Structure 1
Amino acid sequence: MIFRHTRLIMGTALLAVALPAVPAMAQDADEARIKKLEAEVRALQRKVFPGGDGRYFEPQIDSSAPVTTTSSSPASTTAVTDILARLDALEASLQRLTGQVEVNSNAVRDLESRLAALESGAAPAVAADNLLPDEQPLPAAAGPAPTPPPAPAASGPSAQRLAAVQAIAKPQTDDPGDDEYSYGFRLWNAGFYPEAQQQLAMFVEKYPRHPRATYGRNLLGRAYLDDGKPREAAPWFLKNYQEDRNAERAPDSLLYLAESMIALGDTNRACIALAEFGETYPAIAAGRLSNQYEANRKKVTCN
């Protein structure tokens, strides 16, 4: 019996000698377990070699208490199982997060490619050999805002037209910016498109941060579109949409951009603008602008 317990103590000592080879944190954990095992061995020795004089060991446990067998194996197994379960949960969460990141990244790349397609050509690409003498490439949407070309001196407005334009009163309120926009609107509403173009271009240049600026840029594009100039209209619609997509007339401009592309025969960019409109403004596409949206969709065949 003594020999068997002596082997227990020697085995414990050998285990303690072998432990320094493991990392510091693991060694500390094993050191605690070894101390616990040594304490249990000493308690077992007291149980096997009882002595009232205490000559073997100083009493540390109550001999009257029921003996419980302690095993580190189940505890270790439970701890390892818990760690593996937590690792599995972390890996599953990481996989879900990775998948979500990939989905979001693909959506962002798709949106960026669409915008790049719109920015690269608010008007259709035309070979240099096919350009007419009076045609010029559209200015880049990110550059300075386009200005209406001056009217030829030999073909100035008639006296009758000047009188009709002068008959349109310009508002006079305490908001000069709103007065300039309202005057441009009145010119456009009366069908004086060149005059409206000049007035609205002046307004958006002078008051770019005015609450009516989104209305002004959109109406300036419409003044060109209604005047039969979709090439000049398209950059204004694109600029208004890019300036602030949450602005009041941003959805209108995106839809009119598609209409300008349709007028220019550019089905590809028209479809891109229509798809962007439907995805970005689903409520408006089904509500306020539903008739115009559906009418434009019927004009083109999109893949």
Structure 2
Amino acid sequence: MKSILLPALVTSLSASLLCAVPATAQNRNVDKRVERLEQEMRAVQRKVFPGGSSRFFEPDIRPDAAAPATTSTTTSAVSDLITRVDALERSLANLTGQVEQNDFRIKQIEDKMAAATTTAPDPLAAPSSGTAGTETLTAETSSTASAPDPERVTGVASIIMPETGDDGEDAYIYGYRLWAEKYYPEAQTQLKKAAADHPGHRRASFAKNLLGRAYLDDGKPALAAIALYENYQELPRGERAPDSLYFLSTALVQLNKKTEACQTLSELEDVYPSVATGRLSARVARGKGAADCN
């Protein structure tokens, strides 16, 4: 991106600088102006230093014709020359300032471009053998939220949080209801809040597991893998820790990491044998088929 934009910036800068120089200055021959200025300087020098050596001054004025110049003539010529040099210096200073300002603007644009082209994190890091995920799991970058849909806002507002007196239970059930109605982003927010606000509640394991499922249903398998692995790691005795390992294998299959998915299912069978052969037996069999486990 940078290589395409910079030539256009340079062209724009060149045009702006040309516009900054007066039209008369563009149409004059710089070499002729410098030559004329040097000739005038020589003339002034001859008047200030009459009879100077021809080694330094051209013999366009005869030595015998040279006469001491009056103070007023000398002062007038020098003043005129100083005025013209001052004008040239002011023009150069103005042009230099414009160049510096444009350089600064280009630097700002390049910095913004560099920030905009920062690459997103790599996909999920694979769990190591026999541990179902000792390596760090990298989150997917979330897409930019679109403007709220009035119909969606109304639908979410229609889902009421229960009030049973058990805040942990009510927080989880509200997240579950949002998920069941397929309001996945809202469910994710609520389930994260439920687990964070009630970490010691039995429903914390449920909330973290359902959070992973909400990410899966929302098409975000890398975020799902993070939430599910964290539930298994942080709450291994939680009621939904075995389920999180199963859904973690599902997320890994979606991320084209079938070998790691098989390792995760093996971990499930080793750590929770009774659940793997009982309540989750059908899911474990489907998971092995999806991951092409031997």
Which interval holds the TM-score relative to the shorter structure? Answer: 0.5 to 0.7
Q: 3-state DSSP class of the match of 1:238?
A: helix
CA distance in 1 between counterparts of 2:262 and 2:165 reads 43
TM-score (norm 1): 0.52
| Residue in structure 2 matching 1:281, options 263, 268, 272 | 272
Deviation at 1:244, TM superposition (A): 2.6
Q: 3-state DSSP class of the match of 1:276?
A: helix
Note the residue ranges of structure 2 that are not aligned, 5 or more in a row.
1-127
User: 2:139: which partner in 1?
Assistant: 138
How big is each residue's C-alpha offset from its partner over 1:58-87, in whole Å with a ceiling of 9 and x where there is no partner?
A: xxxxxxxxxxxxxxxxxxxxxxxxxxxxxx
Equivalenced residues, count: 167
| Residue in structure 1 matching 2:238, options 218, 231, 247 | 247
**Identical columns (%):** 42
User: 2:75: which partner in 1?
Assistant: none
Q: 3-state DSSP class of the match of 1:302?
A: coil
Deviation at 1:114, TM superposition (A): 2.1
CA distance in 1 between counterparts of 2:143 and 2:219 reads 17
Give matches, 1:42-121, under 5 Å.
Answer: 114-115=130-131, 118-121=133-136
CA RMSD in angstroms, aligned pairs only: 2.0
CA distance in 2 between counterparts of 1:157 and 1:214 reads 31
CA distance in 2 between counterparts of 1:266 and 1:159 reads 39
CA distance in 2 between counterparts of 1:277 and 1:204 reads 23
Note the residue ranges of structure 1 that are not aligned, 5 or more in a row.
1-111, 123-136, 140-147
Give matches, 1:152-301, under 5 Å.
Answer: 152=145, 155-301=146-292
CA distance in 2 between counterparts of 1:224 and 1:175 reads 26
CA distance in 1 between counterparts of 2:241 and 2:255 reads 21
Q: 3-state DSSP class of the match of 2:196?
A: helix
Q: 3-state DSSP class of the match of 1:169?
A: coil
CA distance in 1 between counterparts of 2:157 and 2:143 reads 19
CA distance in 2 between counterparts of 1:287 and 1:259 reads 19
How big is each residue's C-alpha offset from its partner over 1:174-197, in whole Å with a ceiling of 9 and x where there is no partner?
A: 112211111000000111101100
Deviation at 1:157, TM superposition (A): 2.3
CA distance in 1 between counterparts of 2:211 and 2:224 reads 7
Deviation at 1:230, TM superposition (A): 0.5
- Structure 1 counterpart of 2:258, which letter? T
CA distance in 1 between counterparts of 2:227 and 2:147 reads 25
Runs of 4+ in 1 over 3 A off after TM superposition: 148-151
User: 1:94: which partner in 2?
Assistant: none
Q: 3-state DSSP class of the match of 1:119?
A: coil
TM-score (norm 2): 0.53
